[in-house]
Amino acid sequence: MNQIELLAPAGSLDKCKMALRYGADAVYLGGKAFGLRAFAANFSMEEIREACTFAHNLDKKVYVTVNVVPHNGDLPQLPSYLKDLEDAGVDALLVSDLGVWMMARKIVPNLALHVSTQANVTNYEAAKAWEALGAERVVLARELSLGEISEIVRNIHAEVEVFVHGAMCISYSGRCLLSNYFTGRDSNRGACAQVCRWEFSLKEKNRPDEAFDIAEDEQGTYIMNSKDLCLLDHLPDLIKSGVKSLKIEGRMKSVHYVATVVSVYRKAIDAYLRDPEHFSVLPEWQEELLKISHRPYTTGFFEHRPEADGQVYTTSSYEQTADFVGLVNDYDAASGRVTLEQRNNVKEGETLEILTPGGTVFPWTLSDMEDETGTPIAGTLFPRKAPQKSLEKGFSIKFRMILYTFPKIFPFQYRQIAGNMLI
């Protein structure tokens, strides 16, 4: 059976550790330069070093994006940056620009290079060309069907990586000029303004002062607002095709998103590898993916070319069926109490659910709440007001039943499933 890798996004050090704890085999992240997510927290070189140490202790990997389309002024600092990444212990670089690629081959010849999706590899001859240049892995463009993916896998020796989940811009593989044209923010250098999510209208040459709706809708018209990708139902096809790595999009997303999506795909992959013949996608996995912030889901180009139903025309907003409450940071076995880092308001008596690193999800009810000074509280406020600074480091809660299997080093996630916080 093909040994498949689950690859998760890491927009910060906390998200990196969360992704690895919840089941990712590897993470990809960006440094402070040369990555395509300029508005993510991104990683200092010290944080990259810490991420590599954390991952390698778990026998997992860290890949760093160096996939901008650089201009001349970006190049002088690149050699030292590449050397620093190698010294930090990263396992591979994701590169899209040929010049950056050749510089990396010269500066860090022993560091593995993966062809970024920004290179828009859509055929096996392009993949073979990158392979001839030393690519260990090719991340395919998102505009490919299962048949096209399978054909590329059959024709090259390098590993193949494909996206299976996450947001997609209108230019699926990323080479978009809209942001630069409208705002001066270059999406190909990490500063995308997501212009494709804006509301658009038409103008007629002889009536320049009049704007006409492209489609009649009281909320507006969003003609380039793609649905989110979800290939959960097609994991067997991808694994059987010989693809090496299944990639989740989302370096700008929350820890809630990262932990939930990684957990679902981890469970699905493991279930298939255990018993391919009897594998089926469980409804609870699909329900989990609805709890995170997302747009309606699509399979993109995987089954057929997207038509009108691949877009969202009424709004660019996200939807979700549950609200993220917080993270458990500590557990005191003697007292049976945990310390929760608040991410949303909660009240005593509300029913929450816990998502564990092992993938188990179960409900329980809040009781016996205290702030960090030990003062009983009936609930929390969010956003926090000045007099309640004692809550900023968290508050403690007590389980109605003792959790003997609680792993202290693996934070739980809490999601509100009852009460007044449902969205």
136: closest CA among 107, 116, 154?
116
Indicate if 283 and 384 belong to the same structural domain.
no
pTM for the complete prediction?
Answer: 0.81
Range of the domain at 407: 323-416
Within a domain: residue 239? yes
pLDDT band at 401; cut points 50, 70, 90 = very low
Task: Please state which of the ranges 91-95, 199-203, 399-403 shows the lowest mean pLDDT.
Answer: 399-403
d(CA 401, CA 314) in angstroms, rounded, equals 45
4 or 220, greater pLDDT? 4
pLDDT surpasses 70 at 400: no
pLDDT reported for residue 390? 31
**Total domains, the chain:** 2
pLDDT, one tens digit per residue, over 98-134 is: 999 999 999 999 999 999 998 999 999 999 999 999 9
pLDDT reported for residue 396? 55
CB atoms within 10 A of CB 403: 16
pLDDT, one tens digit per residue, over 24-45 is: 999 999 998 775 555 555 799 9
Q: What is the average pLDDT across 146-162? A: 98
Indicate if 25 and 104 belong to the same structural domain.
yes
Give Cα separations from 131 to 112, 123, 124, 148 (angstroms).
12, 13, 10, 18
pLDDT reported for residue 305? 79
pLDDT reported for residue 207? 78
pLDDT surpasses 70 at 140: yes
Give Cα separations from 287 to 232, 238, 282, 309 (angstroms).
12, 22, 9, 21
Domain boundary among 255, 280, 310: 310
24 or 387, greater pLDDT? 24
Cis status of the peptide bond prior to 387, with omega within 30 of 0: no
DSSP H or E segment with residue 183: helix 178-183
Indicate if 257 and 229 belong to the same structural domain.
yes
Within a domain: residue 178? no
Indicate if 243 and 377 belong to the same structural domain.
no
pLDDT reported for residue 327? 80
pLDDT reported for residue 242? 97
Question: Can you give the CATH number for the domain in which 379 is found?
Answer: 2.40.30.10
63 or 301, greater pLDDT? 63
Q: What is the mean pLDDT of the chain?
A: 81
pLDDT band at 193; cut points 50, 70, 90 = confident
Domain boundary among 279, 310, 341: 310
